[in-house]
Amino acid sequence: MHASSAGAPHPVPTGLDVRSFRALTYSHRDPGHLARVSSPAYDLVTPDGRARLAATDPHNVVRLILPGGTPAAGSAGAPTTGVPAGRDAGGPAERAAHLLRAWEAEGVLVRDDTAALWLYELAPARGPATVGWLGAVSVDGARRAVLPHEDTFPAAVEGRRALLAATATDLEPIVLAHDPEPEVAELTQAARTGPPAMEVTDADGVRHRLWRVTAEETLRRLSAALGRTGAVIADGHHRFAAAQALHRTHPGGDCRVLALLTPMGTGGLRVEAIHRVVPDLPLDRAAASARRGFAVTEVPVPGQAGGVAAILAGLQGGSSGGYLLTDGHRLLQLTDPSPEVRATVPAEAPDAWRRLDVVLATTGLVGALWGRPDDPESLLVAHDVPEALRLARERAGVALLLRPPSPADVAAVARAGARMPRKSTLFVPKPRTGLVLRPHRD
């Protein structure tokens, strides 16, 4: 034995550990059926949206990913298939697990005989397609391959952990943006041929196409190539943290999570902002407090939400920068933060983090000037401008409209070991939930 290796610790692997898996999918794969039974990601589904999805088909996956609806039989939010009438099916997570088992027993969902990786193409109505791979990615804490960039909320993590533990199934993928790797791009291009195993177009006009890849040589090369990369969590921080929590409490069990792996740069995702809404804060009061740390200017109100979005887009990259503030009726622009407001951002934080609009908005405006904590009750989030305007009107508050960070900004924050405030980024397009599930059992 060489002296240099005697007693030396094994090196900690730093690249992605991606493996193929035996998927669970709907037995009927025609586009119309997949459109009826699939769903957006759980955190994008509103209560009204959940009711609509559940009413679309008795086997819509929203009944599994959001099982906490009204438990009364036959209600729009409750599972109505697989739960015997008059029997208490337990809490929401247990109801989802019971329903999942029933759908498997009935043949609604079927398990693949062999393991595969899934090539996934998301093509919007306009613009280039995003292409990635669905695989089972290690969440082992000893690895440093997967970097988060956002804070999480403990209650949300626990809710996802409970669902994961009860169902023993990844019901929807997280999304990772991995380092560019030429061999991954080569294998992706080669596999993107022939008819897809699934195809469906969602309500936003994004066409989802998936190819099931089982060739052993391709799987071996792809896993090895991805093993030479690291990744940033683009979507699914709470689900990733839930998978890690489950692994800690059951160390001998499954230590992987279903993930869509997309490249950074060409063929990858775009980043959009997630806006903030402060309930029960009149615009005049919000503006008066904001003037203690910003220049506040009234902006002519466009005729529709699209016009507000266009004004926000015009701020991006501009020298004035700043934010837009609205109650859904009037519109104000906030610029030129004072030294006192800038001082609310910790000086010892990494530069990549300190530069972010969402950081200054959270610490300087929402926290210091408005005196609101960053929690889900005090600070709501909206995934687009129309939703932000609607929430501001409905909750008698104000919407703070933010500019998105760049993918490079997000990666820099993650690699610096920092965290953005919760719900800071919206990577698009999103994979469709329900097309491919991953059971934890072999």
- Give mean pLDDT, residues 350-358: 86
Measure the CA–CA gap between 179 and 425, rounded to whole angstroms. 19
pLDDT at 320 over 60: no
Position 7 confidence tier, pLDDT thresholds 50, 70, 90: very low
117-121, 142-146, 254-258, 342-346: least confident range = 142-146
Q: Computed over its alpha carbons, how large is the radius of gyration of the chain?
A: 23
Q: What is the DSSP letter of 42?
A: G
Tell which phi-psi region holds residue 328, choosing left (phi > 0), alpha (psi between -120 and 50) or beta: left
Residue 389: CB atoms within 10 Å: 24
Taking only the tens place, the pLDDT of each residue in 234-258 is 899 999 999 999 988 877 777 999 9
Task: Return all residues near 127 (Cβ < 8 A) that are at least 6 apart.
Answer: none
Q: Does a cis peptide bond (omega within 30 degrees of 0) precede residue 92?
A: no
Check residue 319 and give its pLDDT: 39
Measure the CA–CA gap between 420 and 354, rounded to whole angstroms. 10
pLDDT at 265 over 80: no
* DSSP letter for each residue of 328-362: SS-EEEEE---HHHHTTS-TTS-HHHHT-HHHHII
Residue 38: CB atoms within 10 Å: 24
Task: Return all residues near 208 (Cβ < 8 A) that are at least 6 apart.
Answer: 120, 121, 122, 198, 199, 200, 201, 202, 431, 432, 435
The mean pLDDT value of the chain amounts to 87
- Give mean pLDDT, residues 185-206: 95
Half-sphere exposure for 376 (CA within 13 Å, toward CB): 8
- Give mean pLDDT, residues 44-59: 94
Name, of 11-15, 82-86, 264-268, the range with top average pLDDT: 264-268
61-65, 74-78, 246-250, 295-299: least confident range = 74-78
Position 208 confidence tier, pLDDT thresholds 50, 70, 90: very high
Measure the CA–CA gap between 256 and 291, rounded to whole angstroms. 49
Check residue 321 and give its pLDDT: 59
pLDDT at 82 over 60: no
pLDDT at 22 over 50: yes
* Cα end-to-end distance, the chain, whole Å: 38
Check residue 249 and give its pLDDT: 83
Taking only the tens place, the pLDDT of each residue in 383-408 is 899 999 999 999 999 999 998 888 88
Task: Return all residues near 395 (Cβ < 8 A) that are at least 6 apart.
Answer: 277, 279, 280, 380
Task: Return all residues near 28 (Cβ < 8 A) that are at least 6 apart.
Answer: none
Check residue 436 and give its pLDDT: 98
CATH class of 18-23+112-271+428-439: alpha beta
pLDDT at 340 over 80: yes
Domain limits, the chain? 18-23+112-271+428-439, 25-110, 275-401
Check residue 322 and give its pLDDT: 81
Check residue 13 and give its pLDDT: 57
Check residue 308 and give its pLDDT: 83
Query: Taking the mean position of all CA atoms in its chain, how far away is CA 359?
Result: 19
Position 304 confidence tier, pLDDT thresholds 50, 70, 90: low
With a pLDDT cut of 70, the percent of the chain lying above it is 89
Residue with tokens 């329900």: 434
